[in-house]
Amino acid sequence: MKQETSRREFLTAGILAGVAAGCGKPNPFTSENENVQPTGEKVKLLSVDGEIIEVDKAFLKPVADLHTVSNAAARVGIAGKNFVMVIDLARCKNLKKCQSACNHMHQVHPGQNWIKISQMQDAEHTAKYWQPTTCMHCDEPPCVKVCPVDATFKRQDGIVLIDSDRCIGCRFCMAACPYSTRVFNWEEPQLTKEVAAQNYSCETSMPQKKGTVGKCDFCPDMTRKGELPHCVSACPNGVFFFGDMNEDSVTNGTETFRFSELIKDKAGYRLMEDLGTKPRVYYLPPVNRNFPFETGLENETGHKEAH
Ligand code: SF4
Ligand code: SF4
């Protein structure tokens, strides 16, 4: 997977260099990087005119993926897919690798998290455990029902997204969500230059905008490429499983199970079932644990929050 990513980034850099060279404008890499010394090593690229050109390797740099799905297509979702997540509580040690990967990849504002990990204890004498929560991508989403401008919506593949171009920041959806999964962007987001230059896409949820609401999006840009959401890939303990109910299959990248068997065999459940929200996130109970309950293992660089 890593190899594919670097190849894609390499190609993106190549295309941009080709565009710059082909349109006769100053090369943005040379003007931005006056101190960069040419290596003498040339890379062949295809210009917009279809010509093969050569660019010094020193002037190439990876950029974030250029998203090609229109916001109209992003609202529809991926045909034939029926996404689902399973979170195995027996495996979670609160390392927060899921959270830091999500924050980094979506450039979530410092101090905010789309994935929260809570310390749980169901009753006085029962064992403590860690519980990660994402957006539940409810099939009966209260957030969607209350949005006055159709900014938050449910797709055919089950994913609930927000179109920040439409969001007016009324926060009705935040009040309606029983899982407290949404966050409000009170401040200007801290974006890298590459992300700030991108056109907004509601499928990547980036660039985020001040005065709008954000939340876990199940990384639909990754799933469209056949890759796993960032939290799933980042967890070293295989806590998160993602998959397609139509294929009855979920994977954490290492292990793959039939969704129906996994839920049945391990007594899977959903949070706040009695509300009728029909979440797409299932939990496996924290029994037969891989690790004893411990605190203080979270990423040293993680945000210091209660969750
Ligand atoms: S968890 Fe909250 S934000 Fe996500 S779909 Fe359900 S109600 Fe909406
Ligand atoms: S804050 Fe935005 S997404 Fe939420 S209900 Fe208001 S307009 Fe809709």
Mean pLDDT of 47-56: 72
Q: How confident is the model at residue 22 (pLDDT cuts 50, 70, 90)?
A: very low
DSSP annotation string for 43-68 = EEEE-TTS-EEEEEGGG----PPPP-
Q: How many Å lie between the centroid of ligand 1 and the Cα of residue 172?
A: 12
Nearest Cα residue to atom 8 of ligand 2: 147
| pLDDT value of residue 262 | 98
| pLDDT value of residue 30 | 41
Mean pLDDT of 182-195: 91
Distance CA 120, CA 109 (A): 26
| pLDDT value of residue 292 | 81
Cβ-contact 177, 142 below 8 angstroms: yes
Neighbours of 55 (CB within 10 A): 22
Residue from 133, 134, 152, 160 to probe ligand 1 pocket by mutation (most atoms less than 8 Å from CB):
160
Mean pLDDT of 128-149: 98
Distance CA 254, CA 258 (A): 14
Q: How many Å lie between the centroid of ligand 1 and the Cα of residue 126?
A: 28
Cβ-contact 54, 44 below 8 angstroms: yes
Nearest Cα residue to atom 7 of ligand 2: 167
The beta strands (E) that lie in the chain are given as 42-46, 52-56, 83-88, 116-121, 128-133, 152-154, 160-162, 183-184, 213-214, 240-244, 249-251, 256-258, 281-284
Distance CA 191, CA 176 (A): 29
Q: Is the pLDDT of residue 242 over 90?
A: yes
Tell me, letter by letter, the H, E, C secondary structure of 164-204. CCCCCCCCHHHHHCCCCCCEECCCCCCCCHHHHCCCCECCC
| pLDDT value of residue 48 | 53
| pLDDT value of residue 34 | 57
Distance CA 185, CA 207 (A): 12
What percentage of the chain exceeds 90 in pLDDT? 66
| pLDDT value of residue 46 | 65
Residue from 150, 172, 182, 209 to probe ligand 2 pocket by mutation (most atoms less than 8 Å from CB):
172
Mean pLDDT of 44-69: 70
What percentage of the chain exceeds 70 in pLDDT? 82
Residue with token string 């209350």: 146
Instruction: Report pLDDT digits (tens) over 58-79.
Output: 887 665 555 578 899 999 999 9
Pocket of ligand 2 (CB under 6 A): 146-147, 149, 151-152, 162, 167-173, 213
Q: Is the pLDDT of residue 7 over 70?
A: no
The amino acid present at 4, given as its one-letter code, is E
Residue from 85, 159, 174, 215 to probe ligand 1 pocket by mutation (most atoms less than 8 Å from CB):
215
Instruction: Report pLDDT digits (tens) over 248-275.
Output: 999 999 999 999 999 999 999 999 999 9
Q: How many Å lie between the centroid of ligand 2 and the Cα of residue 227?
A: 29
Nearest Cα residue to atom 6 of ligand 1: 138
Please provide the average confidence, as pLDDT, over all residues in the chain: 85
Whole-number Cα distances in Å, 70 to 66, 76, 144, 200, 220: 12, 10, 21, 10, 13
Mean pLDDT of 49-59: 77
Distance CA 181, CA 218 (A): 13
Q: Which atom, in ligand 1's list, is nearest to the CA of 216?
A: 4
Q: Is the pLDDT of residue 279 over 60?
A: yes
Cβ density class 71-84: b for 16+ within 10 Å, e for less: beebbebbeebbbb
Q: Kind and range of the H or E element at 207? A: none
Distance CA 256, CA 254 (A): 7
Cβ-contact 87, 243 below 8 angstroms: no
| pLDDT value of residue 4 | 37
Instruction: Report pLDDT digits (tens) over 141-165.
Output: 999 999 999 999 999 999 999 999 9
For 221, what's the count of Cα atoms within 13 Å in the CB-facing half-sphere?
19
Distance CA 170, CA 52 (A): 51
Q: How confident is the model at residue 54 (pLDDT cuts 50, 70, 90)?
A: confident
Q: What is the value of pTM for the model shown?
A: 0.78
- Highest mean pLDDT among 12-26, 38-52, 133-147, 185-199 belongs to 133-147
| pLDDT value of residue 290 | 79
Q: Is the pLDDT of residue 51 over 90?
A: no
Whole-number Cα distances in Å, 112 to 29, 37, 49, 160, 303: 33, 39, 44, 19, 8
Q: How confident is the model at residue 89 (pLDDT cuts 50, 70, 90)?
A: very high
| pLDDT value of residue 299 | 60
